Amino acid sequence: MKLAVVHAQPCESIQRIVFLKTHKTASTTSASLFQRYGYYRNLTFAVGRNHILSFSSKFSRRNVLNFPGMRGKAFDMLANHARYNRGEMDLVVPNATYVTIIRRPEDQLESAFGYFEMYRGMNLSKDDHPLRTFMENPMKYYENHKYHMWQLSRNGQLFDLGLDRQMQENKSFIEQFIDQIDKDFDLVMISEYYDESLVLMKKLLCWNFEDILYIPAGVRSTSHRYLKDESLVRKMQTWNMGDVMLYNHFNQSLWKKIDDYGATFDTDLETFRGLNHAIFKECISPNKTDGRDRREKKYVLKNETERCSRIIMADVNYTPMIRTSMIERFGLEKGSWES
């Protein structure tokens, strides 16, 4: 079954891409777009043993499984979680278009704090508002970092983009770091303006509307959400000063790209939203969610057509399919899985 094409494009689609997957920014939904696009076109992927290539350490080519049939050849895509390391990524996916996504820092931190249940390692499970308690003295917990995914509890987006922890309070260095990210990445999407970002991405990559249709990966459970008043937001912004600088920079650049897009942007955005609303209505059950993961509720298909199944699938499901396809086509070097 071929993917539907809404209209012919007067340009050549870009298929060599690195998507830098940041945490709790709609990056799972985004990664699945690239995986869906590449998997059904038989593109090659740099994949590892699971859907996380690297986290605490920066990405290395050693994180990628060795496929004998790919020796000497470049991969087309890298879309799994990998901490940014441009030199190593260029060796694996050379001459790639680089895309990432970020989110308003206080919302991203609140989401990561709840989703990864950081409060457990802080011994705050019985606290009425563990996020507020953490933010009353965050360094007390951060210095000991005995909680899960602690790296994401301060400037987590800059961490994913490769900023070293010891530079978190060096404002001038962070400014230079952000300028370099601006030079390195062809598009930095903003999750608060997700549809607008995808329309920009569609034009950048010369894809079709069908290629960017999406169904959100899930909705976080109310038990893992925390209300934020103005006082708490201010504390979170101060604590995440670097991520605030990052967000402000690329929020401005996003709207500059929208201005530069041309007169058809509003029409294209309206068209896309109409198509995406239609696919959601076609595929998703309005009365059911999958709550097997206590942290979130996932949407459930009411119409299990191939098209709907492709669009709802997340990266954690696409990755083993892609890995299996890569092994079937190119083999797997003996010992690669254990290396």
Whether residue 9 lies inside any domain: the answer is: no
Whether residue 178 lies inside any domain: the answer is: yes
The pTM (predicted TM-score) of the whole model is 0.93
Whether residue 304 lies inside any domain: the answer is: yes
Query: What are the start-end ranges of the E strands in the chain?
Result: 17-20, 77-78, 97-102, 187-190, 219-220, 284-290, 296-301
For residue 231, what are the CA distances in angstroms to 118, 156, 159, 235, 238? 21, 21, 25, 6, 11
- The C-alpha atoms of residue 95 and residue 91 are separated, in whole angstroms, by 9
pLDDT of 222: 67
Whether residue 5 lies inside any domain: the answer is: no
Q: How does residue 3 score in pLDDT terms, banded at 50, 70 and 90? A: very low
pLDDT digits (tens, 9 = 90+) for 232-282: 999 999 999 999 999 999 999 999 999 999 999 999 999 999 999 999 999
Calculate ∠ Cα 35-37-43, nearest 5°: 80
**What is the CATH number for 272?**
3.40.50
Q: Is the pLDDT of residue 153 over 80?
A: yes
- Percent of the chain, pLDDT > 90? 83
b/e per residue 327-336 (b: at least 16 CB within 10 A): beebebeeeb
For residue 92, what are the CA distances in angstroms to 22, 52, 59, 72, 97? 19, 16, 11, 10, 13
Q: Is the pLDDT of residue 297 over 50?
A: yes
Whether residue 12 lies inside any domain: the answer is: no
Q: Is the pLDDT of residue 323 over 50?
A: yes
Q: In what order do the strands lie in the sheet with 77-78?
A: 77-78, 17-20, 97-102, 187-190
Whether residue 338 lies inside any domain: the answer is: no
Whether residue 84 lies inside any domain: the answer is: yes
pLDDT of 336: 73
- The C-alpha atoms of residue 332 and residue 226 are separated, in whole angstroms, by 45
User: Residue 307: which of 270, 274, 282 has the closest Cα?
Assistant: 282
Average pLDDT of the residues in 150-169: 96
Whether residue 277 lies inside any domain: the answer is: yes
The domain total for the chain is 1
What range does the domain containing 247 cover?
17-330
For residue 147, what are the CA distances in angstroms to 55, 62, 121, 263? 15, 27, 4, 49
- Tell me the pLDDT of the chain averaged across its residues: 93
Q: How does residue 207 score in pLDDT terms, banded at 50, 70 and 90? A: very high
Long-range pairs for 7-15: beta carbons < 8 A, 24 or more residues apart:
7/208, 7/209, 9/206, 9/207, 9/208, 11/206, 12/206, 13/205, 13/206, 13/207, 14/97, 14/204, 14/205, 14/206, 15/41, 15/43, 15/76, 15/77
